[in-house]
Amino acid sequence: MTLRISTNAIFQAGTTQINTLQSQMAKTQMQLSTNKRMLTAADDPIGSAKALELTQSQSMNTQFGTNRTNASSSLSMVDKTLQDVTGQITDIQSLIITAGNAGYSDSDRAALATELEGRMADLLGSANTTDGTGTYLFSGYKTTTQPFTQTPTGATYQGDQGQRTLQVGSARKMAISESGSAVFEANLTGNGTFVTQATTGNTGSGIIAPGAVTDTGQLTGHDYSIAFTVTGSPAATTYTVTDNTTGTALQSDQPYTAGAAIAFDGISFDIKGAPADGDSFGVQPSQKQSVFTTITNLIQTLRSPASGDAGKAALTNNLNTASLNMKNALDNVLTVQASVGSRMKEVDSLDSTGSDLDIQYQTSLSGLQDLDMVKAISLYTQQQQTLQAAQVSFKTMSGLSLFNYIS
């Protein structure tokens, strides 16, 4: 049986084949121009899906890098401000030491009080620092609210306890701010466990020490008072320790020796000088106190007359209290600063990890998408020659006709 092929079929088959070869060569040429193996998802469905996943992961990693840059900037501003605060508190501590000079007069201490008012204004300025765009560093989530406003007793905090955060890694959300309450108000009074103080109105020269904890297991957290009685001739001084919380006398009519330890319920301290009849001292659990309250109280102390033994004793007791409270304030700021520093170091570490991860993503994407140039050029040359041969053969075939052989 003889197979007959029409002229129309020959032309359609030839045209289709040439179009197919041209499409294949055009695709290879496009791959060469873009240096990409996959032009569409149809070229490699599994590879395309993997490349899309890697591209999304790489984009997220890039965004995390941007977040880390912003976090580092914010933390650097907080750290710089805390450095300023540290210097300001240190200056105030120096003024407290200066105010204890026995040769200073009331007017000298009043001058120090004026200088201290300037230091407090500087400290308030640091507490109300912005980042240059109107965002307050220490106001918590209330970024547009000024954190502190000065009052007659110190300063009022108007922010909240929040810490702004940023996602700096796939599994790490980091705080990039500190609340003003944590920096300036979370300062324990006294030695951190209890605070000793002279009662206002004492007429003797008794000076009480900060004291220390001797047995944590015996601590009660109660409020105590130490009352002095002076009787007889020659005068004999005794004291009575009362637990004001329970109304119980813990020690009654104990002989007083200046500088000797007074110990009860796991705490110990001493009192020097000569307390007068009726003088008393208190021991209370430590409480959190704003650094601005401490400074305001100190200014009032420096402006108060300190004449006679009683006045000098009151000055010394108040200066000791202020000195200890400012030390606690400094320790607190340094603790916060150390936390900020550790986060800055972590951001640097995450940046290094992020850079390594980006290289891994890029390498994986290159393996999936990049074209083998040698193989592609060889294929393109082969396709070009095949197309040329097809075109020549099609031209020859299409030119055949029986009429060419009829004479």
Q: How far apart are CA 211 and CA 199, in angstroms?
A: 17
pLDDT in the model for residue 134: 85
19-28, 165-174, 339-348 — which one is most confidently predicted on average? 339-348
274-332 tens-digit pLDDT = 999 999 999 999 999 999 999 999 999 999 999 889 999 999 999 999 999 999 999 99
- Kindly indicate the confidence band of residue 233, based on its pLDDT and cuts at 50, 70 and 90: confident
Radius of gyration of the chain, Cα coordinates, nearest whole angstrom: 42
- Kindly indicate the confidence band of residue 41, based on its pLDDT and cuts at 50, 70 and 90: low
- Kindly indicate the confidence band of residue 115, based on its pLDDT and cuts at 50, 70 and 90: very high
Count the neighbouring beta carbons within 10 Å of the beta carbon of residue 48.
Answer: 16
pLDDT in the model for residue 400: 59
For the question of whether the overall pTM of this predicted structure is more than 0.75, the answer is yes
Q: Is the pLDDT of residue 402 over 60?
A: no
The residue-averaged pLDDT of 85-114 equals 95
Do the Cβ atoms of 51 and 368 come closer than 8 Å?
Answer: yes
Q: Is the pLDDT of residue 224 over 80?
A: yes
The pLDDT mean for the chain works out to: 87
- Kindly indicate the confidence band of residue 178, based on its pLDDT and cuts at 50, 70 and 90: very high
130-158 tens-digit pLDDT = 988 889 999 999 999 999 999 999 999 99
pLDDT-wise least confident of 54-58, 112-116, 203-207, 373-377: 373-377
Q: How far apart are CA 157 and CA 140, in angstroms?
A: 11
Residues near 236 by beta carbon (within 8 Å), at least 6 away in sequence: 230, 255
Q: How far apart are CA 277 and CA 270, in angstroms?
A: 18
What class is the 44-188+290-397 domain? Answer: mainly alpha
pLDDT in the model for residue 359: 81
pLDDT in the model for residue 9: 67
Residues near 125 by beta carbon (within 8 Å), at least 6 away in sequence: none
Domain with CATH 1.20.1330.10 in the chain: 44-188+290-397
Residues near 382 by beta carbon (within 8 Å), at least 6 away in sequence: none
Helix, strand, coil: what percent of the chain each, to 5?
Answer: 55, 20, 25
Q: What percent of the chain has pLDDT over 90?
A: 66
316-366 tens-digit pLDDT = 999 999 999 999 999 999 999 999 999 999 999 998 888 888 888 777 766
Of 301, 321, 293, residue with least CA distance to 151: 293
